[in-house]
Amino acid sequence: MTSTPLHPGYQHFSQLPPSLRVLYTGALCILGMGYLFAVIHLFFTYAGKDGDASSVSYQDMVVAYSGTGKDSRLESALRGSMAAMLPKDELGKIVGWVQGGAQRPAFESDVRPILEKRCLQCHDGSNPHLVALNNFDNVHKVTEKDTGTTIQTLVKVSHIHLFGMTFIFFIVASIFTHAYVRPVWFKCAVVGLPFVSIAVDILSWYVTKYFHPFAYVVMGAGAVSGLCFAFMFFVSVWQMWIGKTPQAVRAAEGTLPNVG
C-alpha cells in the first residue's frame, strides 16, 4: 500500500447511494454469468479437435485456426469435437462418403437423412459461428482439405468479438474504478490490460493460421482477459457490500461533501 493521495474526482463505493450499488451489482452478476457461459462455450468449441475432448490444448488451437492439413474439415470435426454426437455406424457412413468423393447422389440417399436427424438443430445456417450443413453445396465445402477457419469467417467473428468484449470490459472497468486499489499503477494496469489482450487475442488468430506457435499467444491473451475480469468483479463486489471502507477514504471524507 502507498500513501498516494485520492484523486479529487474519486468516489469510493461506500460514498455511492445504495440504488447505484444495486445497479452495479446487478450488471456485474449478469455479465459474470455471461462470461462464465462464454468460457464453457469456448471449451466445447475447441476441446476435442486434437482427438482428446478432456481439455483445450495447444494442438486444439492449431487445428481450429490452421486445420489438420490432412483430413477434411468435416472428418476432423466428426473424429474430434463432434465424435460423441453420432453413433459409430452413422459417423462411418459420412466419413466413407467423404473419402469416396463426396458425390451428390450418395449425399441425398445416405448423408442428408443423418444430418437432418443429428446435426441441423445447430447447423441449419442460422448461427454465423457454426458451419451450415443444410444443403449439399454447404456440406461439400467442408469435405475439402482441412485448412482451419477461413479468413472470411475470422473477419466476421472478429468485429463481433471486438464490439462485444469492448462493451463488456468498459462496463466492468467503469464500475471497478470506484474500488480502492493501491498502487495506482496496478489498478490502471488491471483496467487497461483487457483491452490490450482483446486486440492481441484477435490479431493472433490470423497469425496462428500461418505460424502455429502463436496459438500460445491466443491462449495467454484469453487467460489475461479472464483474470482481469475476475479480479475486477470480486474486488468490486467485496468493497461494495462486504469489506470495510478503506482508511484513506474515511480520512478524506471529512473534506468531501456528504454524498450519502
Residue 125 falls inside a structural domain: yes
Question: What b/e sequence results for 179-199 when a residue is b if at least 16 CB atoms lie within 10 Å of its CB, and e otherwise?
Answer: bbbeeeeebeebbebbbebbe
Please tell me the total count of domains within the chain: 2
Give yes or no: residues 153 and 137 share one domain. Answer: no
Give yes or no: residues 161 and 248 share one domain. Answer: yes
Predicted pLDDT at 202 = 97
pTM of the predicted model, to two decimals?
Answer: 0.75
Give yes or no: residues 163 and 121 share one domain. Answer: no
The string of pLDDT tens digits covering residues 246-258 is 999 988 876 544 4
The string of pLDDT tens digits covering residues 226-246 is 999 999 999 999 999 999 999
The string of pLDDT tens digits covering residues 4-56 is 789 888 999 999 999 999 999 999 999 999 999 999 998 988 887 777 778 89
Mean pLDDT of 78-82: 74
- pLDDT above 50 (res 64): yes
Residues linked to residue 145 through DSSP beta bridges, in sequence order: 72
Predicted pLDDT at 257 = 47
Give yes or no: residues 157 and 130 share one domain. Answer: no
Residue 59 falls inside a structural domain: no
Residue 107 falls inside a structural domain: yes
The string of pLDDT tens digits covering residues 159-209 is 999 999 999 999 999 999 999 999 999 999 999 999 999 999 999 999 999
* Residue finishing a domain among 89, 124, 141: 141
Give yes or no: residues 124 and 159 share one domain. Answer: no
* Residue finishing a domain among 112, 141, 170: 141
Residue 50 falls inside a structural domain: no
Dihedral (CA of 215, 220, 226, 232) sign: negative
Give yes or no: residues 209 and 162 share one domain. Answer: yes
**Cα(28)–Cα(18) distance, rounded to whole angstroms?**
15
Residue 56 falls inside a structural domain: no
Give yes or no: residues 171 and 136 share one domain. Answer: no
Give yes or no: residues 178 and 86 share one domain. Answer: no
pLDDT band for 3, please (50, 70, 90 cuts). low
* Residue finishing a domain among 122, 141, 160: 141
Give yes or no: residues 195 and 219 share one domain. Answer: yes
Residues linked to residue 72 through DSSP beta bridges, in sequence order: 145
Q: Give 254's contacts (C-beta < 8 A, 6+ positions apart).
A: none
Residue 113 falls inside a structural domain: yes
Containing structural domain, residue 187 = 13-45+149-255
Give yes or no: residues 239 and 163 share one domain. Answer: yes
- pLDDT above 50 (res 104): yes
> Residue with C-alpha cell 498516494?
4
Give yes or no: residues 106 and 225 share one domain. Answer: no
Q: Are 249 and 180 in contact (CB under 8 A)?
A: yes
Residue 210 falls inside a structural domain: yes
Residue 244 falls inside a structural domain: yes
Give yes or no: residues 83 and 172 share one domain. Answer: no
pLDDT band for 1, please (50, 70, 90 cuts). very low
**Cα(255)–Cα(246) distance, rounded to whole angstroms?**
16
Provide the angle, in degrees to the nearest 10, between the axes of the packed helices 18-46 and 215-241: 160
Query: To 5 degrees, how large is the angle CA 121–CA 124–CA 125?
Result: 145
